[in-house]
Amino acid sequence: MKNIILLLALFPLFLSCTDDDKEEVKHDYFTDFVTGVTVGGDLRPTSIRIDNEMNKISIDFPIGSTPTAIPVELELASGVTMKSPSSTSNTFDLTEIIPIYLEYKGEDYRYLIVGNYLPESIGGGVMQNGPVHDISLLYYGGSHRATRWTEEELQANVTYTDPAGKENWLFDSFLFLETHTGEGRNFENGLGGLGARKTEWQGLVDKYFAADGPIARLNSILSKSATRLGAPKYKRRLIISMPAAYKDQKDWGEISGRAMDFSLTLDCVSACSWYVDYIIQKFNEANLNYLSLDGIYFVAEQLTDNRHYLPQVADYIKSKNLKFYWIPYWDTDGMGEWESMKFDAAFLQPNYFFPAQKPDYTSYFDRVISYAKSKNMALEMEFDERALKKNSQDYRADRLRDYLRAFDSYGIIKSFPIAYYQSDCMVYSLKSSIYEEDRALYNELCTMISKRQKARGEK
């Protein structure tokens, strides 16, 4: 018997703009190039999935199998032809990710064929897609950053080895973000100054997805960790930050030969849509088998000068089967308006860690967490280098422990997703510290996270 999946759809996507622009935005996309996949041979797949939005064909095989020399035949939509390889019928080694190229109306389109399998030496099942639960914020991209996200630094965010020597999965989601270039241009319009241009927007994504960049290293570390622990139940989720469109900016750059003018809602939406498409393109080119592109994070922490274009950008992001995330800080402009801006989820920053004078624990967390729950918002846990023992003049480890205590007593740890602001690289800094106090704090934090991961089925 042949396993055939037929997906026959041809649809236009429409992106509307506000009436004040007096222009209609219309994108006609033909994306369903692959309409069917047949797998031959003796090794039968357990499932086949075609994702034309992500230009990806996923073929799952039984545990313990090794899918080498797999006959694959593709069925293409009318007008679509194979470019490389030249035939729709081929034999592939699906222990590797296979790139193929299709041609339509003179344009080339790159697809990936991914064989999902687990040798007996790794064990476990085929990784599932699941919701974000514990999100590690990884700042990277600006020239001012000291952290390069080395293998050691990333490993500290991927798994946790407890005092008894047992290794556990840690964060299930990773948000790569940056606020400014370090060279006079900003991605976050709340910083004022000059807005980053198209070249900086594109350069940021290029840094993230470079062949030797942090996302490629993260995927490699996940793979190596899976050989020790067994594959995680859930693929790790990847979220990429999106810059804000600076009000009235006119030097951002061009799209299709037309200079963008951010005094127009239409152009703000067009630039952000271009950016989303570029992220998807780079993710598809990266051949990441342990990471799933989950969504886009809006880097501005307030709605000031952003309300007019965000709902349309959200619509575009969702049309690509991605989620839209936001993390506003306590008492910022619009912190409770996330649903009207069409974000899929919002995490409120309590900002308890940062004031010079430590806030009153009970009244502060009661006010912030009660508000977050009333607005259906999740929470962020926050700490920076002042949680390290070496900062004896302004030592704030007690404030991080207050977050842990409050999140436990108010039911956040049990029932809510959590984002973790760790400044540049604090999880690794706590782990590798020479001070016993820092390592104890690291164990407290990671024990809580690993228990949350076990509760959702991870090893």
CATH of the domain at 390: 3.20.20.80
CA distances from 62 to 40, 117, 291 (A): 15, 7, 20
Say whether both 60 and 194 belong to one domain.
no
Sorted by sequence, the CB contacts under 8 Å of residue 447 that are 6+ apart come out as 160, 162
Among the residue ranges 35-49, 270-284, 306-320, 324-338, the one predicted with the least confidence is: 35-49
Query: At which residue do the structure tokens 């236009």 appear?
Result: 12
CATH of the domain at 95: 2.60.40.2340
C-alpha–C-alpha distance, residues 360 and 237, integer Å: 35
pLDDT given for residue 269 in this prediction: 98
Of 145 and 2, the one with more pLDDT: 145
Give me the chain's average pLDDT, please: 90
CA distances from 351 to 139, 153, 348, 365 (A): 18, 25, 9, 10
pLDDT tens readout for residues 78-95: 999 999 999 999 999 888
Q: Which of 72, 88, 116 is the last residue of a domain?
A: 116
Say whether both 111 and 142 belong to one domain.
no
Say whether both 235 and 352 belong to one domain.
yes
pLDDT tens readout for residues 26-38: 334 457 899 999 9
Q: Which of 116, 151, 175 is the last residue of a domain?
A: 116
Q: Which domain holds residue 394?
A: 134-455
Does residue 110 fall inside a structural domain? yes
pLDDT given for residue 63 in this prediction: 65
Pairing of strands 80-84, 98-104: antiparallel
- Going along 171-277, which residue ranges are E strands? 173-177, 185-186, 194-195, 236-242, 254-255, 258-259
Say whether both 35 and 170 belong to one domain.
no
Say whether both 219 and 318 belong to one domain.
yes
pLDDT given for residue 7 in this prediction: 34
Band (64; pLDDT cuts 50, 70, 90): low
pLDDT tens readout for residues 167-216: 999 999 999 999 999 999 999 999 999 999 999 999 999 999 999 999 99
Sheet containing strand 89-92, strands side by side: 3-6, 34-39, 70-76, 89-92
Structural domain total, the chain? 2
Say whether both 287 and 322 belong to one domain.
yes
Q: Which of 116, 147, 176 is the last residue of a domain?
A: 116
Q: Does position 75 have pLDDT exceeding 60, yes or no?
A: yes
Say whether both 103 and 154 belong to one domain.
no
Amino acid at 13: L
Say whether both 199 and 65 belong to one domain.
no
